[in-house]
Amino acid sequence: MRNTRSRNRPTGNRALALSFRELTTSEEDRGILRRFYEETYRPAFPQPDEQEAVERLEGYLAFKARGGYGPNNYHILIALHRDRPVAGVIMDYLAAPNAGIVEFIVTAPGWRRYRLGSRMLRWAERVAAADARRSLGRGLDLMLAELEDPFKFADDHAYPDPFDRLGIWDGWGFRKLDFPYVQPALSRAQRPVTHLLLAAKPINPALREHVPSRVVERAVHEYIRWAMMPLRPARSPEYKRMRRYLARRRAVPLLSLRAYLGRAPGNLHVHEITGARDADLGRVARLYTDAFPASATSLRSDAFAASLSRSRRDGRYAYHLWALRATPAGGVGGMASFFTLPGAGFGGYVAFGPPLRGTGRFGALVARIEEQMVRDGRGATGWYVECDPSGPQGRIFRDLGFHEVAITYRQPALPGGEPYATADAPVLRLLYKEFGRVYEAPQLSQRALLSALRWIYRAVYGIERPGRSPLFADARGQVAKMPRGLVAWREPVARSHRATARSP
């Protein structure tokens, strides 16, 4: 659901004058649909690949009027203030999976404070339940919804904020179906939409934690077949990939949307340290010193303040230093430092001490870091970390979706240190993760990797001319040997359970 701002907000008792109408093929309803489309639908979905032409929406209504949907159904539900459409939902009922699916809920500018989104959803659920009784003679099993994944979708003008919006859907009872959903291209002139996730609200209590893979596959198949006509699932590469993934699993877990965002109650309390006078800076430095003994790959504890100052002066990248707590009033129990560079992020140091260590919050921290990298607006879609090849951290990162770049990666000297000869540089693992949930190795171009390495050398290690560094030349030479212009990945590293993770 996306809402937009407006100067013309309803006031007083105007909201009491609402009427609710399901559209048909009548001339009056066609007029309502076209006004809704121009004033509310198109502004809410500015990306061309997400838009369906109004003629196609009219075509679906005509198809429904001819009885073409059979046991399925299609609905355009509109809320009107006098003669103006102020909210709408397009939804389908699919009999094979016994599910209603919300294509979108959208509220006109200025009307969100009247909670029309939740009212429209409740109406859609009642309509889908009636369809289930009519078609199958029993109750509805699921409500589904396509939602923008905020880790993969950045829109500074979206309202509400994409991360907040996912929290709203969580409050409505929806959870993420944990599989790689991609909406196929809606026409030959459009591209597949890769920044969506498919969420489910279980109506049948038996589906509260998992949905059988065959039900999810059938829902995707029928959704493409009936809601994206004339697209045929059998001809869709996106559907084929989803089907292969689902065929290898008995059930698809349902993930809390708030947990997916790292925002589940009690997860982490983050304090952003912005300067040398922050009282938490000393606490973070002490925790860091306890977690990372002095070595060639460890910073001096006073380097954090220098990094903050350097990033403010540069302005081309962002540097963050976080103090982490289990409760707002508790002591500092963890720390994280990271950079958002043009095109990619880079993880610095992460450490958990009491009372955070061993509490399973590391995944929530990764989600919060990725949210911050998206919000920094540097165009990052993934991030890199370094870890000791003989240490346990690789497995921790791998379990969260990181993949190791298949090169012998040599760390440059830390700021202020003497440059290494290539043979003397510490060898570390370089890992990469796309933002959000990861289901397979990323398709990362060699050009993107080398661009990120240049920025890492410049921003993290203070090397102003990375191209002249023998370590960079060594990495570039290894990358050039990879086939097809793509980054190659190593096999997974060994398992570990330690809660301290390092990336300088």
Taking the C-alpha atoms of residue 294 and residue 301, their distance in angstroms, rounded to an integer, is 10
Token pair, residue 80, equals: 């009107």
Residue 433's nearest CA partner among 345, 311, 332, 373 is 345
Residue 198's nearest CA partner among 229, 222, 231 is 222
Query: Which residues lie below 8 Å from residue 108, measured CB to CB, with a gap of 6+?
Result: 4, 6, 39, 40, 84, 85, 86, 87
Query: Which residues lie below 8 Å from residue 379, measured CB to CB, with a gap of 6+?
Result: 342, 343
The SS3 of residue 490 is coil
Token pair, residue 136, equals: 């199958």
Report whether 216 contacts 177 (CB < 8 A). yes
Taking the C-alpha atoms of residue 196 and residue 174, their distance in angstroms, rounded to an integer, is 14
User: What pLDDT is attached to residue 392?
Assistant: 76
User: What pLDDT is attached to residue 351?
Assistant: 93
Report whether 436 contacts 182 (CB < 8 A). no
User: What pLDDT is attached to residue 16?
Assistant: 58
Report whether 360 contacts 302 (CB < 8 A). no
User: What pLDDT is attached to residue 431?
Assistant: 97
Token pair, residue 247, equals: 């065929």
User: What pLDDT is attached to residue 15?
Assistant: 44
Taking the C-alpha atoms of residue 469 and residue 472, their distance in angstroms, rounded to an integer, is 5
Q: Which domains does the chain have, with CATH numbers?
A: 22-260 (3.40.630.30), 269-502 (3.40.630.30)
User: What pLDDT is attached to residue 266?
Assistant: 83
Burial classification of residue 449, based on how many CB atoms lie within 10 Å of its CB (0-12 exposed, 13-18 middle, 19 or more buried): buried
Instruction: Report pTM.
Output: 0.91
User: What pLDDT is attached to residue 51?
Assistant: 79
DSSP character string of 29-68: HHHHHHHHIIIIIHHH--SGGG---HHHHHHHHHHHHTTT
User: What pLDDT is attached to residue 78?
Assistant: 97
**In a structure prediction context, what are the per-residue pLDDT tens digits for the chain, which is 504 residues long?**
333 333 334 444 444 589 999 999 999 999 999 999 999 998 888 777 777 889 999 999 999 999 999 999 999 999 999 889 999 999 999 999 999 999 999 998 888 778 899 999 999 999 999 999 999 999 999 999 999 999 998 665 566 789 999 999 999 999 999 999 999 988 778 899 999 999 999 999 999 999 999 999 999 999 999 988 888 899 999 999 999 999 999 999 999 999 999 999 888 999 999 998 999 999 999 999 998 887 767 787 788 998 999 999 999 999 999 999 999 999 999 999 999 999 999 999 999 999 999 999 999 999 999 999 999 999 999 999 999 887 777 888 999 999 999 999 999 998 878 889 999 999 999 999 999 999 999 999 999 999 999 999 999 999 999 999 999 999 999 999 999 999 999 987 444 333 344 443
Taking the C-alpha atoms of residue 127 and residue 65, their distance in angstroms, rounded to an integer, is 17
Q: Strand 382-387 to strand 344-352: parallel, antiparallel, or no bridges (unpaired)? A: parallel
User: What pLDDT is attached to residue 299?
Assistant: 81
DSSP character string of 202-271: E-SGGGSSEEEHHHHHHHHHHHHHHHSTT--GGG-HHHHHHHHHHHT-SEEEEEEHHHHTT-STTS-EEE
Amino acid (1-letter code) at residue 403: H
User: What pLDDT is attached to residue 3?
Assistant: 35
CA end-to-end distance (rounded Å), the chain: 39
Report whether 32 contacts 85 (CB < 8 A). yes
Ranges assigned E (strand) in 435-493: none
Sign, Cα dihedral of 311, 272, 373, 295: positive
Cis peptide before 180 (omega within 30 of 0): no
Integer-rounded Cα radius of gyration of the chain: 25
Altogether, the residues listed in the chain come to a count of 504
User: What pLDDT is attached to residue 157?
Assistant: 56
Distances in whole angstroms, Cα of residue 129 to Cα of each of 61, 94, 138 = 20, 11, 9
DSSP character string of 53-122: -HHHHHHHHHHHHTTTTTT-EEEEEEEEETTEEEEEEEEEEETTTTEEEEEEEEE-TT-GGGTHHHHHHH
